[in-house]
């Protein structure tokens, strides 16, 4: 695997005293697609925003191509933004309703290439519109004239304008119809193939993540509980929460009682719902530890012989 | 003689007043739900699946023009006066909506909202109503029901709120429950629990259930029969098993292919339907699906296929896929 | 890629009521400007032969005269000029200052916002009249000063409205998208925040003009604003009020013009808001 372009270390985000993201660490290599799964309250969206410095973090570092994004000046961070882009969940809301879509797509150009003349800019916007499957003549229209799927294409066009090295997709297809989701995902895959960019694909939809990712990160209540290669995760999930997620996604009868949302201050965050829980789990929170070179699990019992395949 | 269907809808059309003329959201839909069956209604945005049942229950806005007939247990609901509708709504015929946060009154305690339904529809004291509410919370497997009764909606999680909604819909022993995207706003693990609960409740109470969703897998896990809607019409009606095994309408077949699987073969490209569903004013004279259909012919573009077939299986297509 | 303003203009053109209102206002403004050439009478000439004469198109004075024999048609047009000028300029000042101040305070937030809002509260607390008197004492009684003092006071509420709008716009996802695209604070405020708050702002601005005209007439009545023999619609109406029973046209002519202007302004303001609000129709 190529070298890591993004190294997140012990990243934490707090809203007041409540830890939304707790000491999350992971790497991302060039050209790699990493799926980030978790449910509501897992902190996955906050993690993405903290990485891009769209929200404040309370600790840790985000090393992008060797430079800590959390430490650099606001101006330096702005300059870095051409390399790190994001596509949001609500396609219509992420577009300025008062700007034509052509202007929205041209925005990154105006910011980073102020010297470019209008004709050249228009050509680039037209080319990008066609690249994402829209007609170049649509540049003068406004967001509300488009469907959800089309708005998402526009959002992708804007993000791709400066050829980013990392594209974060925050539930980018969750609000779209099933028959449109495939179109958008195929578009993302094509763009990735062409540009070689890395992708961090955040989703609660495990089936989509399965088809897209090389590696998968699983988050629960602000912590990473499992990091595994795609094949390993879907064939033999180790962490009890990952197993519950996959079981639920396959709509097999759930074995756990209804969940209560009460964050634990001591011990493993998952202990109340875990059918493998031991007294040890209530006493101390398990760290994210490597079981193998490619497999990390935050569970006291993960290393037990036979647990992996129970 | 066959018993009366619980719900009989005939030729229901819903038109909204648009700036350039009426917009048809639902076009001449007919369906029947018998006894205790579970019918799944599947469709994407623009299919009209939600407006169909909102119209049936008389919940649409005033700028909607509804024509046709909706008979519930033999009583005509369309055009009925409010007192008649209110006798059925919430008691014999109840609805569960997508977002429980907006369907529950934020400033009223859970117990009060549940009791209100009971006191409105049945004769009993407040004490009895609260007791019944607590019993119902137990039946939907909410732990510590006494404490929950005293809480406000915002103090409960999304999954818990949806259980309360289910409890509320069951209070007066309904003959039919219409659930509109009940799990869409919920997490995957909670979704599995809610579907399991719906299955249990159906077995216990023996009522009919209509489950509306854009999610084929959700519908497929619980429905006996599935109706597939597109651009305001039913395009296929089939027992669930058979729809999965051998869909007849090209749209159903494509939709099934579009759903990425957890255990099937991995694809380098996801299956997709090109284009998008037509807006109400874009639907022409022929088959609404023709622009996106690989097998569309001149006939398809000219002439709209009617829903036809056997009593058990119908499809609206000139060239249905063979079994 | 057409601009936001170009599209708004074309939407406005398709609104018959707004276009009609605009036309009427333009006609009135045109009359106000070319009035002196239409009618030989001057604004100050006293015609003792026709004191308080009633209107008559055949007579020398088309709309009659006032208590001093001055031609009402010409005086009303002159007054319209003055009132419109004050109204428009003062509103423009309050718009520019109010929008800049409010948008910056609302978007930047934190201590800056806190400080800026406290300043507005202090200024709002000052009795308006004393403030105007104070400025008049320092700078003397000129109409230029009048324009700016009225505008300088009008921006306070505008700033509050803009700040409130900015606070809600700031939460919206496209602002986050703009930040993620690398836009700086200035760019976001100018290109993303301000165009999205124009709706309520424009409507408030069109409501501000009549308020300012009325405020100006009040000042003039106190002897602080427009002074005789110069006229504004306000002073004309004040004078006409005294003659209501004997010579009602002295009130009705300027009053009618003011009422027509206010009506047109409101209709036009609604049209502007619809033109700016891309979805809300």
Tell me: the pLDDT tens digits for A28-79? 999 999 999 998 888 999 999 999 999 999 999 999 998 999 999 999 999 9
Mean pLDDT, chain C, whole residue set: 82
A223-229 vs A59-64, strand pairing mode: unpaired
Query: B67 is written with which tokens?
Result: 């024509």
| Candidate from A211-215, B88-92, B217-221, C6-10 with smallest mean pLDDT | C6-10
Q: What ranges make up the beta strands (E) of C65-179?
A: none
Best A96, A110, A120, A140 member to test C by mutation, with max C CBs in 10 Å, is A96
For chain A, say whether C181 makes contact (Cβ under 8 Å): yes
In angstroms, how far is the first alpha carbon of chain A from the final one? 30
Q: Confirm if A295 and A303 have CB atoms less than 8 A apart.
A: no
Place of tokens 């799926």: A35
- Cβ burial of C71 (10 Å; 0-12, 13-18, 19+) is buried
Neighbouring subunits of B (3+ Cβ pairs under 8 A): A
Neighboring chains of A (3 or more beta-carbon pairs < 8 A): B, C
Tell me the DSSP string of B281-295. Answer: GG--SS-TTGGG-TT
**Tens digit of each residue's pLDDT (9 = 90 or more) over B217-243:** 889 889 999 999 999 999 999 999 999
Question: What percent of chain A has a predicted confidence (pLDDT) above 70?
Answer: 95
Q: Which of A152-161, B111-120, C215-224 has the highest mean pLDDT?
A: A152-161
Contact A246 B274 (CB under 8 A): no
Computed over every residue of chain A, the mean pLDDT equals: 90
> Among partner residues B141, B196, B214, which is closest to A177 by beta-carbon distance?
B214
For residues B104 and B169, give the distance between their C-alpha atoms in angstroms, rounded to a whole number: 12
- C109-136 average pLDDT score: 85
- Output the CA torsion C153→C155→C158→C162 (10° steps): -150
**C266 vs B18, higher pLDDT:** C266
| 3-state helix vs strand vs coil in chain C, percent to 5 | 75, 0, 25
What is the average pLDDT across C97-125?
92
Please state, rounded to an integer, the average pLDDT across all residues of chain B: 88
- Give just the sign of the alpha carbon dihedral A200, A206, A209, A210: positive
Residue B202 tokens, joined: 């159906």
Compare CB distances from A122 to C1, C172, C192 and report the shortest one's residue. C1
Give the closest residue to A244 by CA, choosing from A294, A292, A280, A206.
A206
Nearest to B269 among A186, A204, A251 (CB): A186
CB hemisphere CA count around C154 (13 angstroms): 31
Question: What tens digit of pLDDT does each residue of B169-201 get?
Answer: 998 889 999 999 988 878 888 888 888 899 888
SS3 track for chain A: CCCEEEEEEEEEEEECCEEEEEEEEEEEECCCEEEEECCCCCCHHHHHHHHCCCCCCCEEEEEECCEECCCCCHHHHHHHCCCEEEECCCCCCCCCCCCCHHHHHHHHHHHHCCCCCHHHHHHHHHHHHHHCCCCHHHHHCCHHHCCHHHHHHHHHHHHHCCCCCEEEEECCCCCCCHHHHHHHHHHHHHHHHHHCCEEEEEECCHHHHHHHCCEEEEEECCEEEEEEEHHHHHHCCCCHHHHHHHHHHCCCCCCCCCCCCCCCCCCCCCHHHCCCCCHHHHHCCCCCEEEECCEEECCCCCCCCCHHHC
CA distance A95 to chain B (A): 20
Is A148 in CB contact (< 8 Å) with chain B? yes
Taking the Cβ of residue C110 and every Cβ of chain A, the question of whether any pair is shorter than 8 Å is answered with no
* Residue C280 scores a pLDDT above 50: no
The pLDDT, as a whole number, for residue B45 is 83
- CB-based contact A261 B221, cutoff 8 Å: no
- Using the predicted structure, report yes or no on whether residue A4 has a pLDDT greater than 70: yes
Please report the pLDDT score of residue C1 as a whole number: 32
Strand, coil or helix: B246: coil
Lowest-confidence region among A2-6, A63-67, C65-69: C65-69
Using a CB-CB cut-off of 8 Å, the residues of chain B touching A204 are: 187-188
Asked whether the predicted pLDDT for residue B61 surpasses 90, the reply is: no
**Residue C281: per-residue pLDDT:** 37
Q: Which tens digit of pLDDT belongs to each residue from B288-313?
A: 999 999 888 999 999 999 999 998 99
Selected for mutation to probe chain C from A45, A53, A98 (highest C CB count within 10 Å) is: A98
Q: What is the mean pLDDT of residues B202-226?
A: 90
Tokens 């619609």 locate to C233
Residue in B with minimal Cα distance to A244: B189
Number of H helices, E strands in chain C: 11, 0
Name which of A84-98, A122-136, C189-203 the model is least confident about.
Answer: C189-203
Mean pLDDT to the nearest integer, A118-130: 95
Provide the pLDDT confidence category of residue A111 given band limits of 50, 70 and 90.
Answer: very high
Mean pLDDT of the A159-173 span: 95
For residue B283, what pLDDT is reported? 87
Shortest Cα distance, chain C CAs vs residue A162, angstroms: 10
Return the structure tokens found at C225. 């604003």
Per-residue pLDDT at A252: 65
Q: How many residues make up chain C in this entry? A: 281
Render B60-74 in DSSP notation, one character per residue: S-TTEEEEEEEEETT
More confident residue, A242 or A260: A242
**Cα–Cα distance measured from residue B32 to residue B56, given in angstroms and rounded to the nearest whole number:** 12
pLDDT tens-place string over residues C155-171:
888 899 999 999 999 99
In terms of Cβ atoms closer than 10 Å to its own Cβ (0-12, 13-18, 19+), residue A272 is middle
Q: Is the pLDDT of residue A199 over 90?
A: yes
**What's the whole-number mean pLDDT along residues C135-158?**
74
Residues of C in contact with A144 (CB under 8 A): 278-279
Contact C21, C264 (CB under 8 A): yes
User: What's the rounded Cα separation, in Å, for the pair A160 and A107?
Assistant: 12
Q: Tell whether the model's pLDDT for residue C54 goes beyond 90.
A: no
Nearest to A180 among B159, B260, B276 (CB): B276
Q: What does the alpha-carbon distance between residue B286 and residue C207 come to, in Å, rounded to a whole number?
A: 52
To the nearest whole percent, how much of chain A has pLDDT over 90? Answer: 68
8 Å CB contact between C185 and C107: yes
Instruction: Tell me what pLDDT residue A253 has.
Output: 55
In this structure, what DSSP letter does residue C197 have? G
Inter-chain CB proximity A94 and C181 less than 8 Å = no
pLDDT value for A65: 93
Supply B287's token pair.
Answer: 């088959």
Q: How far apart are CA A100 and CA A97, in angstroms?
A: 8
Asked if A249 and B141 come within 8 Å (Cβ–Cβ), the reply is no
**How far apart, in whole angstroms, are the C-alpha atoms of residue A88 and residue A97?**
15
What residues 240-269 of chain C have any CB closer than 8 A to a CB of chain A? none
Q: In chain B, what percentage of residues exceed pLDDT 70?
A: 99
Q: What is the mean pLDDT of residues C180-191?
A: 94
C4 chain-A contacts, CB cut-off 8 A: 98-100
Q: Give the pLDDT band (50/70/90) at residue A232.
A: very high
pLDDT digits 0-9 by tens, B26-57: 999 999 998 889 999 999 888 999 999 999 88
pLDDT above 70: residue A16: yes
Residue of A nearest to C173 (CA): A94
Contact A139 C177 (CB under 8 A): no
Which burial class, exposed, middle or buried, applies to B163 when counting CB atoms under 10 A from its CB (0-12, 13-18, 19+)? buried
Strands A215-220 and A223-229: antiparallel
**A122 in reach of chain B (CB within 8 A):** no
Checking if the pLDDT of B144 tops 90, the result is no
10 Å Cβ neighbour count for B238? 23
pLDDT at C2: 44
Lowest mean pLDDT among A163-167, B118-122, C69-73: C69-73
| Residues in chain A closer than 8 A to C276 (CB atoms) | 98
C174 touches chain A (CB under 8 A): yes
> Is residue C57 predicted with pLDDT exceeding 80?
no
Give the per-residue pLDDT at C108: 93
Gap between the Cα atoms of A302 and A279, Å rounded: 15
Distance of CA C29 to the CA centre of its chain: 14
pLDDT at A259 over 60: no
Q: pTM of the prediction? A: 0.84
User: Two tokens at C32?
Assistant: 């106000």
Size of interface A-C (CB pairs under 8 A): 80
> What residues of A are in the C interface, CB distance below 8 Å?
49, 52, 54, 78-79, 81-82, 85-86, 88, 90, 93-100, 102-103, 106-108, 111-112, 122, 125, 139-140, 142, 144, 155, 158
Distance of alpha carbon B129 from alpha carbon B111, whole angstroms = 9
Alpha carbon distances (Å) from B99 to A95, A205, B149 = 25, 19, 20
Query: Would you call A207 and B143 a contact, using CB atoms and an 8 Å cutoff?
Result: no
Concatenated DSSP letters for C119-137? Answer: HHHHHHHS-HHHHHHHHHH
CB < 8 Å from A in window 6-25 of C: 7
If one counts every other C-beta atom within 10 angstroms of the C-beta of residue C78, the result is 24
Q: How far apart are CA B19 and CA C98, in angstroms?
A: 37
Which tens digits make up the pLDDT trace of C12-44? 888 889 899 989 988 888 888 887 777 777 777
Q: Which of A23-27, A228-232, A282-286, C226-230 has the lowest mean pLDDT?
A: C226-230
Q: Which chains touch C (3 or more CB pairs under 8 A)?
A: A
- Range C66-73 average pLDDT: 80
> To the nearest whole angstrom, how far is the Cα of A249 from the nearest Cα of chain B?
6
What is residue B178's predicted lDDT score, i.e. its pLDDT?
94
């Amino acid at each position: 695997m190529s070298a890591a372009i993004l190294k997140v270390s012990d990243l934490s985000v707090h809203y007041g005293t409540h830890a939304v993201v707790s000491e999350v660490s992971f790497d991302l290599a060039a050209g790699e697609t990493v799926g980030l799964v978790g449910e509501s309250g897992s902190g996955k969206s906050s993690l993405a925003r903290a990485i891009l410095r769209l929200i404040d973090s309370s600790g840790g570092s985000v090393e992008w191509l060797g430079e800590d994004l959390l430490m650099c000046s606001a101006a330096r961070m702005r300059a870095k933004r051409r390399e790190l882009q994001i596509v949001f969940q609500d396609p219509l809301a992420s577009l300025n309703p008062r700007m034509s879509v052509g202007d929205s797509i041209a925005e990154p150009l105006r910011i980073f290439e102020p010297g470019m003349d209008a004709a050249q800019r228009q050509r680039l916007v037209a080319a990008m519109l066609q690249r994402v499957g829209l007609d170049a003549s649509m540049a003068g229209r406004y967001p509300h004239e488009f469907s959800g799927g089309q708005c998402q294409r526009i959002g992708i066009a804007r993000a791709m304008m400066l050829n980013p090295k990392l594209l974060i997709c925050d539930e980018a297809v969750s609000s779209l119809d099933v028959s449109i989701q495939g179109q958008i995902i195929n578009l993302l895959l094509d763009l990735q193939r062409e540009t070689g960019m890395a992708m961090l694909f955040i989703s609660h939809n495990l089936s989509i993540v399965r088809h897209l990712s090389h590696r998968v990160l699983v988050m629960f209540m602000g912590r990473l509980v499992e990091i595994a290669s795609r094949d390993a995760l879907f064939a033999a999930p180790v962490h009890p929460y990952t197993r519950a997620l996959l079981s639920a996604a396959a709509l097999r009868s759930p074995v756990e009682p209804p969940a209560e949302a009460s964050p634990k201050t001591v011990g493993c965050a998952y202990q109340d719902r875990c059918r493998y829980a031991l007294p040890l789990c209530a006493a101390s929170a398990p760290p994210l530890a490597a079981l193998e070179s490619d497999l990390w699990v935050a569970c006291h019992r993960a290393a037990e012989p036979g647990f992996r395949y129970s | 003689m066959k018993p009366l269907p619980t719900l009989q809808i005939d030729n229901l059309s819903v038109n909204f007043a648009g700036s350039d003329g009426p917009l048809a959201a639902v076009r001449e839909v007919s369906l029947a739900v018998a006894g205790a069956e579970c019918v799944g209604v599947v469709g994407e945005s623009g299919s009209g699946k939600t407006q169909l049942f909102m119209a049936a229950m008389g919940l649409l806005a005033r700028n909607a023009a509804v024509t046709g007939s909706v008979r519930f247990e033999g009583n005509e609901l369309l055009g009925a006066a409010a007192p008649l509708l209110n006798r059925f709504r919430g008691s014999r015929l109840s609805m569960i909506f997508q977002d429980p946060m907006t369907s529950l009154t934020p400033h009223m305690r859970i117990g009060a909202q549940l009791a209100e339904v009971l006191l409105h529809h049945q004769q009993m004291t407040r004490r009895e109503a609260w007791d019944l509410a607590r019993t119902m919370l137990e039946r939907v497997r909410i732990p510590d029901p006494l404490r929950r009764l005293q809480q406000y909606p915002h103090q409960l999680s999304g999954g818990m709120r949806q259980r309360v909604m289910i409890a509320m819909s069951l209070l007066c022993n309904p003959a039919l429950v219409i659930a509109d995207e009940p799990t869409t706003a919920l997490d995957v693990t909670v979704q599995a629990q809610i579907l399991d609960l719906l299955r249990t409740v159906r077995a216990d109470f023996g009522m009919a259930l209509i489950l509306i969703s854009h999610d084929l897998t959700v519908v497929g896990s619980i429905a006996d029969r599935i109706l597939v809607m597109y651009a305001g019409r039913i395009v296929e009606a089939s027992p669930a098993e058979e729809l999965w095994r051998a869909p007849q309408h090209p749209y159903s077949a494509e939709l099934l292919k579009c759903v990425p699987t957890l255990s099937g073969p991995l694809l380098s490209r996801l299956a997709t339907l090109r284009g998008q569903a037509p807006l109400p004013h874009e639907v022409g004279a022929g088959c609404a699906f023709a622009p996106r259909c690989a097998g569309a012919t001149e006939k398809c573009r000219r002439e709209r296929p009617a829903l036809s077939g056997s009593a058990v299986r119908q499809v609206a297509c000139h060239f249905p896929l063979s079994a | 890629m057409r601009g936001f303003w170009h599209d708004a203009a074309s939407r406005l053109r398709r609104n018959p009521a707004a276009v009609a209102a605009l036309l009427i206002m333009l006609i009135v403004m045109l009359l106000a400007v070319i009035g002196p050439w239409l009618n030989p009478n001057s604004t100050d000439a006293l015609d003792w032969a026709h004191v308080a004469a009633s209107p008559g198109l055949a007579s020398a004075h088309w709309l009659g005269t006032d208590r001093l024999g001055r031609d009402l048609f010409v005086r009303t047009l002159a007054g319209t000029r003055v009132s419109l000028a004050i109204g428009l300029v003062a509103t423009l000042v309050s718009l520019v200052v109010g929008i800049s101040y409010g948008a910056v305070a609302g978007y930047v937030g934190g201590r800056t916002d806190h400080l800026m809002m406290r300043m507005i509260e202090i200024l709002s607390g000052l009795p308006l009249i004393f403030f105007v008197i104070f400025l008049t004492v320092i700078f003397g009684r000129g109409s230029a000063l009048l324009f700016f003092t009225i505008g300088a006071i009008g921006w306070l509420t505008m700033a509050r409205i803009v700040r409130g709008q900015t606070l809600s716009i700031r939460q919206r996802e496209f602002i986050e998208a703009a930040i993620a695209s690398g836009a700086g604070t200035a760019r976001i405020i100018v290109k993303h925040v301000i165009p999205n708050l124009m709706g309520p702002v424009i409507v408030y601005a069109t409501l501000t003009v009549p308020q300012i005209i009325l405020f100006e007439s009040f000042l003039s009545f106190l002897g602080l604003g427009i002074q005789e023999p110069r006229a504004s619609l306000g002073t004309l109406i004040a004078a006409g009020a005294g003659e209501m029973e004997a010579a009602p046209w002295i009130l009705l002519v300027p009053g009618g013009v003011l009422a027509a202007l206010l009506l047109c302004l409101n209709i036009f303001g609604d049209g502007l808001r619809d033109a700016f609000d891309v979805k809300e129709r």
